[in-house]
Every structure is written in C-alpha cells, then in structure tokens.
Structure 1
Amino acid sequence: MTEAFDPDGIEQAVFVVGERHATLDEPWRAYRRARLIYVSEGVLTVRTASGRWVVPPARALWIAANTLHCLHATRPVQSYSLYVATDAAMDATDDSAAADSADSADSADSADSADSADSAAPLPAQTGALIPDTLVQALLAAAADLPHDHTPDEPARRLLQVLLDRVAGLPAAPLGLNWPGDPRARRIAEALSANPAQSLVLEELAAAAGVTARTAARLFAKETGQTFGQWRQQLRLLAALEHLGAGESVTQVALEVGYNDVSSFIAVFRDAFGDTPARYFR
C-alpha cells in the first residue's frame, strides 16, 4: 500500500488492508470510514486530538469515523486495518448483494436474515482500544487477502459480516489516555510526555505552565476523568509498553518511566495489564 492510499476512495463498504513497516510516521489523517487497527507484531502509538493509545501485539484500536489521527512506530510493526463505511455498521453487504441474496433465498430465510441483522450488536461509537479474540485475528488476516477494488462475492461478504459481528462484541483494553484540551493542562501533559521519568511534583509542573497546582488538578480531573496522579501513572505505563516493545529490559524500562523500585513498577504494571512486564510480550 502506498502513502497515497485513500480508503474513502474505495467503493467497497467494508475491507481489510494488511501493512508492514520498518518504522512508521503516518501523518495526521481523518477518514469518513471507521477504522480498526489490529497490531500483530510490534508496537503502534496512535494519537488523536483528545487521546493517546499504545497498541501492543494482539491488541487493536477502534477509531471512530471522521476522527483525525496519526500513527507512529519506531521499530518494525505489522498491522491490519479494517475500514468500515459508516452506513455499513450493521451489514457488510451492499444493495446488489442484498438483491442477490433475495433472489437466492425464500421469504422465510429473508425474514430470518433481517431479524438477525436487527439483533446484531452495534459497532463501537467511540475511539478506544479492544482485545481481539483469535477468531477476529484470523478473520482479519483472511480478509486482507480479499480484493477490495470490486464488489465482493458471497463467501467474501459472509466473512466480512462475521468479522463485523465479532468486532462489535470485543472487550475494551486499558491502553489509552485522555489528553487535556485546556492549554495550561496540555503544557503539563506535553512536558511529562517528553520525559515521563521526571520527578517534579504537580506544584512545580503547574508553576512552569503558568497555573496554580489547585487549578491544574481541577483541570486534569475535569478533562481526563482521572486525578493528576492517576493520569501520570497511566502515562508512565503506556511509555513502558513502548520501551518494552522495543526490547528493553524490565529494569531499564522501570527507570526510564520514573520508577526507582523495580518491584513497585512490576506490581503496578501487573495490576493495569494483568501480567508482568517480562511475560506481557511473550
């Protein structure tokens, strides 16, 4: 796939594209389509105006339609992008496919099909990280081999519909961080993002940003849904995922994200992600 690739220029309502990059610095883009990015190898960092996500292997990020976003990876990364037209959220088939289905099925089967579509779970409405199961992973890989320059045949349509049905039910993953919009809080966030290990307390960070600590604490709670301490800890954990994905040792990563006690880092990481740093990428 070239840099000029535009998913909105594809007529097919639902399709999957596989990509592999030695490094990645995809510019800010927004599509009319929703986009699911599944990472099979490497670590992908995704930014939007209001959030940051770090996506390790076997995890995915759903990006709502018309959301400006950019992708970044410092090491090799392999991913699959599922693109979904907003009017295809409940059905991977187009009008011609529906007509073909009607011609080949009796009225009872058509009614059953309609009932099934009506009861299908909706696709996510908001951008967020997800945990794909092994079936979704296999369906994405299979769908990436399908052509997307013409109307899919019946087996392809069924595969894509099953994929959409499965994506709709995937559980969320704690891999994101809400980004403050207020310029004062954003200055603090950017300073910490540039150096997660820095030990400055909120009073010092707030003073450098031209705001009182009390106001800064209020802004973080209002705009991110977390206390400043909770937000800072999540920022460090996401930075840790990036470093671990680059092959760095647990001890080195703990120090780089601001933990002098490696045991404390391991405990916090396990509480957040359900496994120790040493086992997470195995």
Structure 2
Amino acid sequence: MQRWADPADHHATALPVAAVAKPFPADHHIAPHSHGRAQLLHAISGVMRVTTDTSAWIVPPGRAVWLPAGTVHAVDIRGPLAMRTLYIEEGAHPGLPADCTIISVGPLLRELILAATEEPADYDPAGRGGHLAALILGEIARAERSPLRIPMPRDARLVALARELIVDPGRTDRLEDWAVRLGASPRTLARLFRRETGMSFVAFREQVRLAAVERLTAGEPLARVARALGYASRSAFGAMMRRALGLTPGELARRVRE
C-alpha cells in the first residue's frame, strides 16, 4: 500500500485531503517554510510551537493549528512528538477557516485524522478514503476556534518587550517597570498593546505563559513550572490553564503522554 512520501506529492495530488503521519524527536526545529495547500498541524502526543511573522501558537494535544496555503511558518518541538498533518486543497469545503487559527480536535476528528493517515496515497475518492476526507472537512469547518494565539506587535518598543517575555515568561515586571526601561509612559504602552495586539499587557503576558505546556511535556514538576512562570501557587497556575486550554495541568500532562 503506497503512502505519502515525497512532500511534493501532497500538493500535486488531485485528491482534496492528503494525511501524513510524522514522528519528531525532542528539541527539533522545522525552519520557516510554506506549502501550496492549506495545512492542519495536529499532534496525537507532544506539544509544538508554531510561529509566523505576526503570531505564535502553542499547540497541545486536543488542538490543531490551521495554516492557509502559502503561510510561512516554523515549528519548534520540545519533547518527542507524534504529528499528524493534513494538506488540504483550497476551496475543498466552504466552511474552512480563512485565516491562521487554532481549532479544537474532538474525539471524532481525532479518530478521522488517524484513520486517514492509514489510507493509501491514491485512495478512492468514492470509497472509504473519500468518505473520511469529506467527514474531516466538515469537522474542521465546524470545529471550535481556540484563543491560543500570541499576537506579535509591530512597535519596536513592544517587540523588545514581547521577545523578553517569550524568553522569560516568568517575569513579573509591571507595565510601569517596562515603561521606565523602554522610555515610554505606561499609558502609551497600554494604548499600544491594545491597538497592536488587541489585548491588555496582562492578557498578553498570560498568553505567553502558555508556553509552560512545553515544560510539562518534559516531565518537569508542576510546582516548579508554576513558580518559574511567576504564579504564587499551583492552583493559580491551574486556573489559568483551565481558562485558556480547558484542561488542568495534570490532564494535559496525561494527554501528552498518551
């Protein structure tokens, strides 16, 4: 049974969906690149960070990132990861997302993706493979969007701040502290954050701290991760993750290991 092998095949096929299983080792980096088709990146185990010029996303199990055709992106993987990728023909379904976004991957979509990766590269569009592809497209179109995007600002002062937070998300500096270092008033920085990212400084910092899920995949103790990220307690950290991901840290760690 022929599988998808050459990446060019994913785009040359006349079939609407090409599903590929790809394992990656820990600490792996996929350099910036793009595809001629839309791409859905999902991991059945492990966590990845996907970045473009304007945004970053943390993608834990139970989520997937949708990238329209031509989107230049890079992928960083902290721990071992089992990726399942879909390459989707433009216009294959009217309800597919128009922009980059995170979607929820429920049990049905997860199983459909797994089943599609077992189909041959030349699956019959009128047979099982075609039926799976049609169901996948419908499930993606109706999937819930998730607010895991980290919007990157354009103002040079905010870019410097954002980069420092991404490197050290546990920093507890107030906006007033950043204002002194960056040579701007707190009011100016707050206004710029709202205008360029659509969120407050505190909300932006919380989004960046979701990178903590990568540390949990490596087996780092929850209490240590919470302290490193500036949370006074495990419960405060857990509340943030439940609000953002719909999972407790323990639930996330178990799903990553599954």
Indicate whether the TM-score tops 0.5: yes
Deviation at 1:34, TM superposition (A): 1.0
In structure 2, the residue corresponding to 1:86 is in which secondary structure?
coil
Cα distance in 2 between the residues matched to 1:218 and 1:44: 31
Aligned residue runs from structure 1 range 131-142, under 5 A: 131-142=104-115
1:108 alignment partner in structure 2: none
Q: How many residues align?
A: 249
In structure 1, the residue corresponding to 2:145 is in which secondary structure?
coil
Question: Normalising to structure 1: TM-score of the pair?
Answer: 0.81
Deviation at 1:209, TM superposition (A): 3.5
1:220 alignment partner in structure 2: 193
RMSD: 2.2
2:70 alignment partner in structure 1: 66
What residue ranges of structure 2 are gaps of 5+ in the alignment? none
**Aligned with 1:22 (options 22, 25, 29):** 25
Contact 1:132 1:170 in 2 (8 A): yes
Cα distance in 1 between the residues matched to 2:237 and 2:63: 22
Aligned residue runs from structure 1 range 131-280, under 5 A: 131-148=104-121, 150=122, 152-155=124-127, 156-236=129-209, 238-280=210-252
**Aligned with 2:90 (options 67, 86, 91):** 86
Cα distance in 2 between the residues matched to 1:275 and 1:134: 15
Question: Normalising to structure 2: TM-score of the pair?
Answer: 0.88
What residue ranges of structure 1 are gaps of 5+ in the alignment? 91-121
Cα distance in 2 between the residues matched to 1:17 and 1:275: 27
Cα distance in 2 between the residues matched to 1:264 and 1:65: 39
Percent sequence identity is 32
Deviation at 1:253, TM superposition (A): 0.7
What is the letter of the counterpart of residue 16 of structure 1?
A
1:76 alignment partner in structure 2: 80
Structure number, greater radius of gyration: 1
**Relative to structure 1, is the Cα distance of residues 206 and 164 closer, same or farther in structure 2, using a 3 angstrom cutoff?**
same
**Relative to structure 1, is the Cα distance of residues 58 and 83 closer, same or farther in structure 2, using a 3 angstrom cutoff?**
same
2:44 alignment partner in structure 1: 40
